[in-house]
Amino acid sequence: MKIKCDYCGNTYEDTLHECPDCSAPNPSHKNDSGPKTIEDLKKWYKDRKLPAPEVTRFFIGVDYKKPKAFGIYKDDNGDFIVYKNKADGSRAVRYKGADEEYAVNELLQRLKDEIVHQKFGSGSFKSNVGTRFMPSGKTKKHNSRFLMNVISISIATFCILFGIAMIMSSSDHTGYYRYGHNVYYNYDDHWFYYDNDNWSEISQNDPIPQEIASNYDEYYISRYWNQSIDTTNWNDTSFYDRYHVSSDNDSDSDYDWGNNDTWDSDNTDWGSDW
């Protein structure tokens, strides 16, 4: 899959560690707070109380050979392999290389996507067949319940779509900005100023953040730090721990598996490469 470099605008394959044109790091390789090793990923999986691998079809640390499986393992040459065995038994290799953290993150993101897919499927409405065999009184009650379910689902669908529309309509302006000779960083409308080898937080109501916010594109440098930016990496500061990592950790709870959730791997797209 092609991605666009935040710094120079070049497009390149997402499996590369950095942009081949300007050497800016590939943001998809970033995995600051998540699992970094296969053992970490096994623990993440266990902590979410997910079903057995034979149910989810995610095999961590295993070179599983049968069809319909995702997995990661380390081969005899020391390379980490992230793969998908498709329905026809063929294997699509997502990543092969020495970067364990990147390999783990690739499978983690695919696992998260599948958990969301399965949770949505387990909560979807399934109508009963055979209503005509019920006595008339029960049929009316069943039809009434059916109508209420349809209405409830319609309302829920509208709320979800409305929420997605609101999210998409709002721009994410996280990143580095240059105003004059100075560099600023914005994270979720929290503004930071780099001076004397240190980052300091400043109010979003200060004149310079207000000026940058009035025309982000004019002052924008990059979403992610790279060596061409004459500052230290904002992600290495305590501000990152305060605003960013805590948010990432909280979001992991969204992938916890509950007793009422059901996993049906037959609903997974086993024909695509990933």
Using one digit for the tens of pLDDT, what is the confidence trace for 59-104?
A: 999 999 999 999 999 999 999 999 999 999 999 999 999 999 999 9
Which tops the pLDDT comparison, 174 or 13? 174
Whether 268 contacts 114, CB under 8 Å: yes
Residue 167: pLDDT over 50 = no
Q: Which long-range contacts (CB under 8 A, 24 or more apart) does 110-115 make?
A: 110/70, 110/274, 111/45, 111/56, 111/58, 111/70, 112/255, 114/56, 114/58, 114/70, 114/268, 115/48, 115/50, 115/255, 115/257
Residue 140 has pLDDT above 50, yes or no: no
Predicted pLDDT of residue 204? 87
Report CA 37 to chain centroid distance, whole Å. 18
Q: Quick one: how far is CA 121 from the chain centroid?
A: 19
Query: In this structure, are residues 268 and 117 in contact, taking their beta carbons and an 8 Å threshold?
Result: yes
pLDDT at 188: 85
**If we measure between CA atoms, which residue out of 69, 32, 61, 67 comes closest to residue 244?**
32
Rounded to the nearest angstrom, the gap between the alpha carbon of residue 253 and the centroid of all alpha carbons in its chain is 13
Average pLDDT along the chain: 81
| pLDDT of 126 strictly over 90 | no
Instruction: Please say whether the beta carbons of 71 and 83 come within 8 A.
Output: yes
Higher pLDDT among residues 254 and 164, named by residue: 254
Residue 171's closest CA among 119, 228, 237, 216?
216
For residue 98, the SS3 value is coil
Comparison of pLDDT for 194 and 225, the residue scoring more: 194
Phi, psi of 167 (to 5 degrees): -65, -45
pLDDT recorded at residue 172: 67
pLDDT score for 10: 82
Pairing of strands 11-13, 190-195: unpaired
Of 2-16, 85-99, 129-143, 205-219, the one with minimum mean pLDDT is 129-143
- pLDDT of res. 268: 92
Mean pLDDT score, 55-59 = 98
Whole-number Å distance between alpha carbons of 109 and 274:
11
Q: Return the higher-pLDDT residue of 67 and 233.
A: 67
In this prediction, residues 113-126 reach a mean pLDDT of 71
- DSSP element (H, E) containing 151: helix 136-169
Long-range contacts of 269-273 (CB under 8 A, 24+ apart): 270/67, 270/68, 270/86, 270/87, 271/86, 271/87, 272/86, 273/84, 273/86, 273/92, 273/94
Other beta carbons within 10 Å of 46: 10
Of 35-49, 165-179, 201-215, give the lowest mean pLDDT range.
Answer: 165-179
Q: Which is higher by pLDDT, 149 or 24?
A: 24
Q: What region does 6 belong to: left with phi over 0, alpha with psi -120 to 50, or beta?
A: alpha
- Are 251 and 57 in contact by the 8 Å Cβ rule? The answer is no
Residue written as token pair 């998260």? 112
